[in-house]
Amino acid sequence: MWQRIQTVYFVLVIILMIAGVLLSNAEFLNTATNTSYLLDSRGVLELNEQGEAVKTIATNPCTFVFGFILFLTTFTIFNYKNRKKQMRFATINLFCIIIYIVALAVFIFYAKNKLESDISFNYPVIFSVIALIFNYLGMRGIAKDEKLVRSLDRLR
């Protein structure tokens, strides 16, 4: 299982998605009220003077899609004996990551408009895009394995 390169790609997808959820993706600053907000896995949080967080906007759909992505990626890794099914799950996972990216962008711009604030993106916001690329590379690795097995079947 671990000797195949696509397994490494899928593990990188899991690591990047977890890091992208645990770290803050964006910061909002309302200059009129001098209020600071932070977007992380719990939602959009208002930071008071003591640095304590108060939830303002929940991001539950993003959290649900994130959990589904982790489940699908783990299932794809351990389903290495059936390449066709593995490819199917990797394709579904690719679309789920795209949905996650779109949902995260919608929540960021919704929060920006609702809070009437300026936005600054943090570097973890691109982790899901990098995870999308690694998922695609994993799909290519599965396709190469399938092609190799079929060529060996023709030789027999």
Residue ranges of alpha helices (H) inside the chain are 5-22, 60-78, 83-115, 127-155
What global pTM score does this model have? 0.87
Q: Output the six-digit token pair for 48.
A: 């008071």
The fold for domain 5-155 equals: Butyryl-CoA Dehydrogenase, subunit A; domain 3 (1.20.140)
Q: Count CB neighbours of 111 within 10 A.
A: 20
Per-residue confidence in pLDDT tens, the chain, 156 aa: 555 888 999 999 999 999 998 888 888 888 888 888 888 877 888 877 776 777 777 888 888 999 999 999 999 999 888 889 999 999 999 999 999 999 999 988 888 888 888 888 999 999 999 999 999 999 999 998 888 888 877 766
Q: Domain ranges in the chain?
A: 5-155
pLDDT 10s digits, 58-80: 888 888 999 999 999 999 999 88
